[in-house]
Structure 1
Amino acid sequence: MKLTYFAGDPPNFGDELNPLVWSAMLPDGFLDDREEALFLGIGSIIQDIYPRSARKYVIGSGYGGYSAMPDVHDGSWDVLFVRGPGTARRLGLPAERAICDPAVLLRLLPLPEAASGITVAFMPHYESLERGFWQVACRMAGVTLIDPRDDVGRILSQIRGARLLITEAMHGAIVADALRTPWIAAKPLHHSHRMKWRDWSESLEIDLRPHALLPSNIREMYHAVWPNAEVWRAARSSTMPTLKPVNQMLTWIAAKRLQQLSHAEPQMSRDTRLDAAVDGVASAIDRFVRSRGGSGLRATGRASASARSASMRSMRLTA
C-alpha cells in the first residue's frame, strides 16, 4: 500500500506531515511502493485523478474542490473516515465517517522543543508566500514569519513556541489547535483555499471566525480579485519598476492588517472535543491496520489522547 499525498515543489507543511505522522504511527512494513493500493492520508486529496484500477483507502483525507468530485461509490474506494462533515456530505457518506484531520495525531507523538522568543507568528499559504511580499510585511509588523515550505520539525517548534498564530494555511490552524497554541484564522486570499476550512472546523465543533487578510502586493491583489487572471500579467505586476510605489504601499497596509489581527480574539477547540477526535482517529486507524493483518498502531499511537492532554496543557501553561 503506497502512501499518497501532494508532494509539491516547493514542499508544503500540511502535506509534508504525512511521512512524519505515518512513519511514527504505522507498524514497519505496512506501507510500501506498490501502486495497486493507495493510502490517502493528510490533505485535500480526495480527487478524481487516481486510476480506476487502484484501490483507494481514505484515511482522513478531505475534498477541497481542487478537482472534479470523485465517485467514491464506484467500487474502487474504501473510505475509513474523512476530514470533516463537509467532505462527508459532498461525497454522500454517512455522518459518522467524518472524524477529523489525521494531523491531530501529532498529540500522540514526541515533538520538537518549543522555540523561544516568538510572540505573534504568521503562517501564510505557501502560494501566498510565493506571490506576495510577506517577509517584508512581517518585519514591518513585528510578527514572526513561519514559512510553510520550511523543515517540518522547525515549523512544529515555532508553532509550539508561539503565543499566538495567525494563519492563512489551514494546517497551521489544525496543528496549532492540536498543540494548544491559540490561533486566528486568516481567510485565504485565493478563493480556492477557503472551502476546506469549514470542513475541518465543523469536525471539532469550532464556530470558525475567519478574518480578512489584505494583499501584500499587486500580484496578490490580482489573484484575490480575479482568481483566473492571466498568470503573466499578475507576475509582472510585482516586479515592474513603475509599480514599485504601489507595491510598497500595499505591503505597508498588509503589515498594518497583521498588527490589527494580532489583537483579535483567538480560537481553539474544546479540550474534550479534541481529545475525542484524537481517540476516534487513532481507534479507526488501529482497527484498519489490524484488519489487514498488522499488529495495530505503535505503542505511542495507542496512548490515550486524554492522558496526553493534561501533559500538553501543562507544557502550554509553563512555556
Structure 2
Amino acid sequence: MDPYYWESEHGNFGDDLNLWLWDFLIPGFRDVRPDTLLVGVGTVLNRALLPEGRHKLVLGSGFGYGSLPDMRDSQEWDVRCVRGPLTAQKVGVDPKLGIIDPAVMVAEMPEFKGLPKKHKKSFVPHWESAIAGMWPVICQTVGLHYIDPRGDAKDVIREIAQSEMIVAESMHGAILADAFRVPWVAVTTSSSINSFKWNDWAQTVGVTYRPRHVPVSSRAEAIIKGARFWGVDFDAHQPALEDPNKRQIDESVMVAARAPKQTSLRVAAKQLLAAPSTLSLWQAARAAPQLSADHVLAERKERFLEVIAGVRRDYF
C-alpha cells in the first residue's frame, strides 16, 4: 500500500506529513496490498491528481479544487472516511463519514508529546504567502514568532506545538494548533485561500471559520496571488485549474523577494509599504482566539481510530 500526497516543489508541511503519519497509524501498511493507493491528508480528491485504474483507499481526504473523480466504482474506490461533511456531501457518501482531518492524529505521536512552550505567539502563513511576502520581517516587528510552512514537517509541527497561541493562514496550521490544544486565530490575505476546505474541517470540531483579513505584504506577493496592493490590481486572470499545483508562479518574483543583498533604504521602503499588513497582523495577534471543545475533538479522534481498526481487519 502506497501513501499518496501532493508534493509541492516549494514544500508544504500539511501535505508532507503523509510521508510518516501513516507508518504510525497503520504500522506495516506499506507491506500489504501493493496495488492500493492510500489517499490521506490533503485536498486531493481531484480528478487531475489521482490516477485512474488503481485501487484507492480514502482515509480523511478532502475536496476543494477542480472536479471530483468518478468514485462510484467500489472495485476501484474504498471510501472509509473523508475530511468533513462538506466533502462527504460532494462525494455522495453518508455525512457521518465526514469525520476529521487525519492530521490531528499527529498529536498522539510520542515524539510530539510533552514539548515545552517556547513561543508566546506564532504566525503560520499559507505557503504562497511564504514565497514572496514580507512576513518574517513583519512578525519581528509585531512580536510574533514566524513559522515557515515550507520547512521540514516535523520541525514546523514542533514549533506549532511549542507555541502558546497561533495566528494561522495555513489551514493545517490551525488544525495542528487545535490538535495540540493551542488556541488559534484564522487570517486570510487573498481570495485564493480556499474557504470550502476550512469550513469542511471546522464543522467536524464545532469551530467557526471567520478569518480576519490581512492585506498582502508586498508587490511580489500580490503578483503571485493576483491580488491588489496599494491601489494596483495584479489580477493575473489565470483560468481555474484542475490541478492547483500547476498554477504558474513567476520564479523571478520569488528570487527578487528573497535576494540577500538589499540596501537599507530599499528595505525601509518595503517595510513602509507593508504597514497595512503589519497593523492587521498585530490586531489579529491580539484578537480572541478559539479552540474546539476537548470532548468534541476526542470523540472525532475515537471515530477515526475505529475506521483505522476496520482497515487493519480488512487489509491485513
**Class of the TM-score when normalised by the shorter of the 2 chains:** 0.7 to 0.9
Aligned partner of residue 100 in structure 1, secondary structure:
coil
Mapping of 1:2-41 within 5 angstroms?
Answer: 2-28=2-28, 30-32=29-31, 36-41=35-40
In structure 1, the gaps of 5 or more residues are 294-319
Give the structure 2 partner of residue 205 of structure 1. Answer: 206
The alpha-carbon distance between structure 1 residues 238 and 244, as it changes in their structure 2 partners (threshold 3 A), is farther
* Rounded Cα–Cα distance in structure 2 between residues aligned with 1:85 and 1:98: 5
Give the structure 1 partner of residue 295 of structure 2. Answer: 272
* Rounded Cα–Cα distance in structure 2 between residues aligned with 1:133 and 1:197: 24
Give the structure 2 partner of residue 154 of structure 1. Answer: 155
Tell me the TM-score normalized by structure 2. 0.83
Give the structure 2 partner of residue 43 of structure 1. Answer: 42
Q: Tell me, yes or no, if the aligned pair for 1:218 and 1:238 is still in contact at 8 Å.
A: no
Give the structure 2 partner of residue 313 of structure 1. Answer: none
- 2:150 is aligned with 1:180: no
Q: Give the superposition deviation at 1:268.
A: 0.7
Q: Give the superposition deviation at 1:38.
A: 0.7
Give the structure 2 partner of residue 262 of structure 1. Answer: 285
Cα RMSD for the two superposed structures:
2.7
The alpha-carbon distance between structure 1 residues 33 and 287, as it changes in their structure 2 partners (threshold 3 A), is closer
Q: Give the superposition deviation at 1:206.
A: 1.2
The alpha-carbon distance between structure 1 residues 145 and 48, as it changes in their structure 2 partners (threshold 3 A), is same
Q: Which moved more, 1:275-284 or 1:243-252?
A: 243-252
Q: Give the superposition deviation at 1:107.
A: 3.1
The AA in structure 2 aligned to 1:264 is A
The alpha-carbon distance between structure 1 residues 128 and 115, as it changes in their structure 2 partners (threshold 3 A), is farther
Q: Give the superposition deviation at 1:162.
A: 1.1
- 2:75 is aligned with 1:52: no
Tell me the TM-score normalized by structure 1. 0.83
Q: Give the superposition deviation at 1:94.
A: 1.4
Q: Tell me, yes or no, if the aligned pair for 2:38 and 2:58 is still in contact at 8 Å.
A: yes
Mapping of 1:228-239 within 5 angstroms?
Answer: 228=237, 232=250, 235=253
Aligned partner of residue 274 in structure 2, secondary structure:
helix
Q: Give the superposition deviation at 1:189.
A: 2.4
Q: Give the superposition deviation at 1:233.
A: 11
CA shift digits 1:256-301 (9 cap, x unpaired)? 21111111110111111100000011111111111112xxxxxxxx
The AA in structure 1 aligned to 2:35 is E
CA shift digits 1:217-275 (9 cap, x unpaired)? 01223423426468559939966999977643332321221111111110111111100
Q: Give the superposition deviation at 1:92.
A: 1.6
The alpha-carbon distance between structure 1 residues 236 and 22, as it changes in their structure 2 partners (threshold 3 A), is closer
The AA in structure 1 aligned to 2:54 is A
Aligned partner of residue 17 in structure 2, secondary structure:
helix
The alpha-carbon distance between structure 1 residues 246 and 232, as it changes in their structure 2 partners (threshold 3 A), is farther
* Rounded Cα–Cα distance in structure 1 between residues aligned with 2:118 and 2:96: 42
Mapping of 1:137-152 within 5 angstroms?
Answer: 137-152=138-153
Q: Tell me, yes or no, if the aligned pair for 1:115 and 1:157 is still in contact at 8 Å.
A: no
Give the structure 1 partner of residue 272 of structure 2. Answer: 249
The alpha-carbon distance between structure 1 residues 233 and 178, as it changes in their structure 2 partners (threshold 3 A), is closer
* Rounded Cα–Cα distance in structure 2 between residues aligned with 1:164 and 1:291: 40
Q: Tell me, yes or no, if the aligned pair for 1:121 and 1:146 is still in contact at 8 Å.
A: yes
* Rounded Cα–Cα distance in structure 1 between residues aligned with 2:42 and 2:58: 11
Match for residue 284 of structure 1 among 307, 310, 316: 307
